Amino acid sequence: MTRSAEAPVLNVLADNLRVALEGTDHDWYVGLLTTLTEVSAEQASRASRAGGSTIAAHANHVRFALRIMLGRLHGERGPVEWGPEWERSRVDDAEWDALRTELGELYQEFAGLLRSRTVWDEQALGVVMTQIAHTAYHVGAIRQVKLAVSAPSA
């Protein structure tokens, strides 16, 4: 693709990435970063059910995925061991703040690369589309856990 042909596609992808991470100007979709600011470390460390994933584990998984996808966009290849990032299910206040901060930084790096990259192929576009969909999925999952752990006990 030429850069002029890519521009509309890249603009749409950049906007969808922003929505997934930041949300919209409307109340109908709250992105990952905004959702996580509404959650305390204590809430982030509680599962909605026995054996369920915590918000902290979901956030750590998204952070791990962003790191991997950034690496892919920089040309890194090789096997990835998915799974251990889910083991971090509990966080204290400092760890929770650091995790949210790093997610914001990774998002800014990802968005910056989306704007500055000059050569795009199907694999690179696929990485971006995958990360957008993956993040949006986890926002929904996190919001469901948040509802469950925030509900008053019966």
Provide the number of structural domains found in the chain.
1
pLDDT of residue 153: 62
* Mean pLDDT (whole number) for 16-29: 81
pLDDT of residue 29: 78
For residues 43 and 148, the answer to whether their CB atoms sit within 8 Å is: no
In this prediction, what percent of the chain has a pLDDT beyond 70?
Answer: 94
* CATH number of the domain to which 136 belongs: 1.20.120.450
pLDDT of 100-118, one tens digit each? 999 999 999 999 998 888 8
**SS3 state of residue 54:** strand
Please give the angle made by the CA atoms of 135, 106 and 33, to the nearest 5 degrees: 50
pLDDT of residue 146: 94
DSSP 47: B
* Mean pLDDT (whole number) for 49-66: 94
**Least confident residue range of 22-26, 65-69, 123-127:** 22-26
pLDDT of residue 5: 47
- More reliable by pLDDT, 2 or 19: 19
Cα within 13 Å of Cα(53), Cβ side: 19
Range of 92's domain? 3-150
